[in-house]
Amino acid sequence: MKTSFVFILSFVLSLNSSAQTQSKEYSFLFYNVENLFDVKDDSLTLDEEFTPDGARHWNYKKLERKLLNTSKAIIAAAEWEMPTIIALSEVENRYVLEQLRNETPLKATPYKIIHKESPDFRGIDVALFYNSEEFYPLKYEYIPMRMKSGDVRKTREILYASGILGGVDTVHIFVNHWPSRYGGLMETRELRNDAAALLRNKVDLLMEETPTAKVIILGDFNDQPKDESIEVYLKAKSVFLGIDGTELYNLSETWGEGGEGTLKYQSQWFVFDQIIVSGNLLNASEGLFTTPQLASICKLPFLIEEDKTHGGEKLFRTYSGFRYNGGFSDHFPILLKLRVR
């Protein structure tokens, strides 16, 4: 009788454990935090305006508030369930990443950091936090953009990381912050097309090696879903055209409908922050999967303020021009959830 009871109890517990695994969600957050700089002048980059004597009079008190605000946005964006992966752009160095991880409420989660100094002329980088209890990294690399001469462009690199998520499945992550439109849309378009072609080449090589690869591409592309870089060079397709496992699909393609967006310039909203995945994540019969409905813009009320100049709403930024505003960022966070079959 005792043996039978132990067997039944073990069976019930295993069913409960299986049910918990099936219902588990893993969230991937991307956030362009807008100019997360330390207060020191780096002689190798153009960061002088973010120093105490610079044009913005940046100091430790403002940095502390920026870090706390950033952590608040991250925690709330994932609906108070801490993200498994946090991909960030516009961070200056490892110091500010460690301050964000160690000196804010993020310290309650065992995040580890993937970061490398980029060749960007302003010194801003892309980086990754991962929950070390849920994600086991297998490898990572930073992919530089190169000119036709072979020289490295002074812009952000693409971060690639792969690892095992929840002991269930392997995921491949690409974090992007493509060249900006500063200097003119047409004048800078080729730079973003080059970034898209570089990323597409890396995805193709990955798919040749692992045709079942589950790929997640996150970032600030400084282009919209229908722009040439995304549709033609990256070849990100619409989910409404059928799903092929090795192709890429843009889960952000409808975000701009109804005047929505992830950032606002003057009176117009743009969808520069996007989530793109491989078909293997959309048509998975087992392991990790996602759907277009599990990708979203995190339009949190406290990230918004009244737009008195252009009407409607705008993002509550750290600075309004050069006037300190004490806000968050000029971008909304975006979120992707994965589930387990």
Q: What is the CATH number of the domain that holds 76?
A: 3.60.10.10
Other Cβ atoms within 10 Å of 143 Cβ, number: 16
C-alpha–C-alpha distance, residues 119 and 133, integer Å:
32
C-alpha–C-alpha distance, residues 100 and 298, integer Å:
20
Look at residue 4 and tell me if it is in a domain. no
Residue 52, domain extent: 25-340
| pTM (2 d.p.) | 0.92
Number of helices followed by number of strands (H, E) in the chain: 6, 20
How many folded domains does the chain comprise?
1
C-alpha–C-alpha distance, residues 92 and 83, integer Å:
22
Look at residue 177 and tell me if it is in a domain. yes
At residue 117, the 3 state secondary structure works out as coil
Nearest to 226 by CA among 185, 271, 167, 186: 271
HSE-up (13 A, CA, CB side) for residue 20: 7
Other Cβ atoms within 10 Å of 89 Cβ, number: 25
Tokens of 125: 């980088």
Nearest to 338 by CA among 254, 281, 285: 281
Look at residue 297 and tell me if it is in a domain. yes
- The answer to whether the CB of 74 falls within 8 A of the CB of 86 is yes
Beta strands in the chain (DSSP E): 25-36, 85-91, 111-115, 125-131, 135-143, 158-165, 169-177, 215-220, 236-237, 248-250, 263-265, 268-270, 273-278, 288-289, 295-297, 304-306, 313-315, 319-320, 323-324, 334-340
Amino acid symbol at 2:
K
Residue-wise pLDDT tens for the chain (341 aa)?
444 433 443 443 444 444 444 568 999 999 999 999 999 999 999 999 999 999 999 999 999 999 999 999 999 998 878 999 999 999 999 999 999 999 999 999 999 999 999 999 999 999 999 999 999 999 999 999 999 888 999 999 999 999 999 999 999 999 999 999 988 998 999 999 999 999 999 999 999 999 999 999 999 999 999 999 999 999 999 999 899 999 999 999 999 998 899 999 999 999 999 999 999 999 999 999 999 999 999 999 999 999 999 999 999 999 999 999 999 999 999 999 999 99
Look at residue 3 and tell me if it is in a domain. no
Looking at residue 90, what is its pLDDT?
98
HSE-up (13 A, CA, CB side) for residue 81: 10
Looking at residue 222, what is its pLDDT?
98
Looking at residue 6, what is its pLDDT?
39
Dihedrals phi, psi of 176, to nearest 5 degrees: -130, 150
Look at residue 15 and tell me if it is in a domain. no
Look at residue 17 and tell me if it is in a domain. no
Look at residue 123 and tell me if it is in a domain. yes
Look at residue 1 and tell me if it is in a domain. no
